[in-house]
Amino acid sequence: MSSESILALGFKGDLLKELKSKMPITYSISNDSNADITWDDFYSLKFDITRPDFSEEISKIFREVKKNYCQFNDIYSRRFFYVTESCAEVYSVFTLYFYQCISVLKNNSVNCIIFSNVPHEGYDYIFYLIAKNMSIKTIICNQSLFPNRFWIFSAIEDFGNFASSPKVSEHWSSNYVLPKPSEWVNMQGRLNDRSYFILDFIKEILRKPHRLPLALVRLFHGFQYRINVHKAVIDPVANERYVYFPLHLQPELTTSALGGEFADQISAIEELSSILPNDLYLYVKENPKQNEAYRGKLFFKRLKKLKNVRYIKRTYSSSKLIQDSEFVAVINGTAGWEAIFAKKSILIFGYAWFSSFKGVTRYAPTISVDDVLKNRPANAIETINYLDDILTKTGIGIVDDDYISIFDQYDVNVNSKTVTNSLITYYKFKN
């Protein structure tokens, strides 16, 4: 390991200290006092930017990275709710991120980057793209929905395909039981109406009076969103055959990073709509936690153009929609995992951790409905046995603090050691 130089992105606290003591971390970025630069300062470009010497090599890398500018734009849009920067300003941010990212990599002779999560916030995605074009190894972590387990993989496109991944932990019988929909950690909180309302407006301007202009814009969009939903929404039609497509929360890494070309979810809906036979409808249901962001009037206009698509009330049971569907289509969300246990075939458009399970088909332009339906899930026992095998490819510990709540035995010192040991095992295998 001595000849290696690793950039650690996103790790903090005791975990960062442990990683630095056991691995050749030469540079780190996170909101931690021991990091070389804070995540927020890098994100906001609050330092002197170093423009690299644009050699032929650097120019070529920049051109390659620019091919992913549309996806960067989608990722970076999460920084602004409604009043966004101009296209020119966003492109300048993209360029300045590139300057600083490649300078960090060059100045520190970095030959491996370890991400604490899937790069999905802006400059972390630029680091990832540069690494791909400079043959710098990447190790990506992503906390799983299974307590004290996190996924480890080398490329976004590999997420869910763990056949070539090393065994990181011992095999154990999970005796897995599918949680109730309300028990998923990513579905906690107020679910019925997340749109910005008058009470939110009053609370915001009382706390931060200077945000009045932005709050008024948000209030307008919230009002417009509720009108558009009211016009578009319907109940399921009795005895109607349909495919179920639950919309994903946006902005979020499930679409921005793991959605690939289908970060724009309506693109997936449009593709699916075009291959359905005349007697099969597409039921689209809003994510319970979605607000008016990413749901402007043109979103609904595009939906309306699809005659075989029905926009279902968000309060309607997702489990019921899965159970009564012909099959389920997702970008990569937990509804796809639920569908496996409901014995429903699944079509995925993005990159999902469960993509290698029986019953899951990845979308391609040549796909047909019959192709999807022929791939049926295994029974629950076989699925859980395969899950237990897959979990040997996961790291032990928590790399995302939001998931501490689902592990009762969490201990910060133990966690730092188990995460570090898992990453060392994976790192050694990849070297």
* Predicted pLDDT at 182: 64
Q: Is the pLDDT of residue 79 over 90?
A: no
R_g of the chain, CA atoms, integer Å: 22
pLDDT > 70: percent of the chain = 96
Residue 138's φ and ψ, nearest 5 degrees, are: -130, 140
- For 59, the token pair is 């120019």
Pairing of strands 346-348, 328-330: parallel
Alpha-carbon distance of 407 to 126, in angstroms, equals: 33
pLDDT digit string, tens, across residues 21-71: 999 999 999 999 999 999 999 999 988 888 888 899 999 999 999 999 999
End-to-end CA distance of the chain, in Å?
A: 9
Q: What is the 3-state secondary structure (H, E, C) of 37-50?
A: ECHHHHHCCCCCCC
* Predicted pLDDT at 184: 62
pLDDT digit string, tens, across residues 170-224: 998 888 988 877 666 555 444 556 788 899 999 989 999 998 988 899 999 999 9
- Of the candidates 227, 427, 267, the one whose C-alpha atom is nearest the C-alpha of residue 363 is 267
* Predicted pLDDT at 190: 46
- For 54, the token pair is 């644009």
Alpha-carbon distance of 294 to 123, in angstroms, equals: 21
For the chain, what is the largest distance between any 2 Cα atoms, rounded to a whole number of angstroms?
Answer: 66
Alpha-carbon distance of 3 to 25, in angstroms, equals: 11
pTM of the shown model: 0.92
- Of the candidates 156, 179, 26, 41, the one whose C-alpha atom is nearest the C-alpha of residue 104 is 26
What is the DSSP-derived secondary structure letter of residue 366?
Answer: T
The partner residues of 137 in beta bridges, in order of sequence, read 112
- For 421, the token pair is 């040991």
Q: Is the pLDDT of residue 125 over 70?
A: yes
* Predicted pLDDT at 185: 54
Cβ count near 210 (within 10 Å):
8
Q: What is the mean pLDDT of residues 359-367?
A: 96
* Predicted pLDDT at 375: 98
Q: Is the peptide bond before 251 cis (omega within 30 degrees of 0)?
A: yes
Cβ atoms of 302 and 266 within 8 Å: the answer is yes
pLDDT digit string, tens, across residues 90-99: 999 999 999 9
What is the DSSP-derived secondary structure letter of residue 69?
Answer: H
Contacts of 164 (CB under 8 A, 6+ apart): none
- Of the candidates 189, 173, 183, the one whose C-alpha atom is nearest the C-alpha of residue 338 is 183
| Helical ranges in 305-349 per DSSP H | 318-324, 334-341
166: helix, strand or coil: coil
- Domains of the chain, earliest start first: 6-169+394-430 (no CATH), 233-386 (3.40.50.2000)
pLDDT digit string, tens, across residues 133-180: 999 999 999 999 999 999 999 999 999 999 889 999 999 888 898 887
Alpha-carbon distance of 431 to 425, in angstroms, equals: 10
Alpha-carbon distance of 329 to 22, in angstroms, equals: 43
pLDDT digit string, tens, across residues 387-403: 999 999 999 999 999 99
From residue 173, how far is each of 28, 108, 281 by CA, in Å?
Answer: 36, 43, 40
* Predicted pLDDT at 288: 87
Alpha-carbon distance of 127 to 100, in angstroms, equals: 9
Cβ count near 431 (within 10 Å):
11
Q: Is the pLDDT of residue 373 over 80?
A: yes
From residue 44, how far is each of 107, 119, 122, 281 by CA, in Å?
Answer: 21, 16, 10, 45
pLDDT > 90: percent of the chain = 79
- For 257, the token pair is 């990073």
**Region for 417 from its dihedrals, namely left if φ exceeds 0, alpha if ψ lies in -120 to 50, beta otherwise:** alpha
Element containing residue 360 per DSSP (H, E): strand 360-362
- In the sheet where 137-143 sits, what is the strand order? 25-29, 6-9, 112-115, 137-143, 149-153, 395-396
Element containing residue 404 per DSSP (H, E): none
* Mean pLDDT taken over the chain: 92
Q: Can you say how many angstroms the Cα of residue 267 is from the centroid of all Cα atoms in its chain?
A: 17
Residue 104's φ and ψ, nearest 5 degrees, are: -60, -45
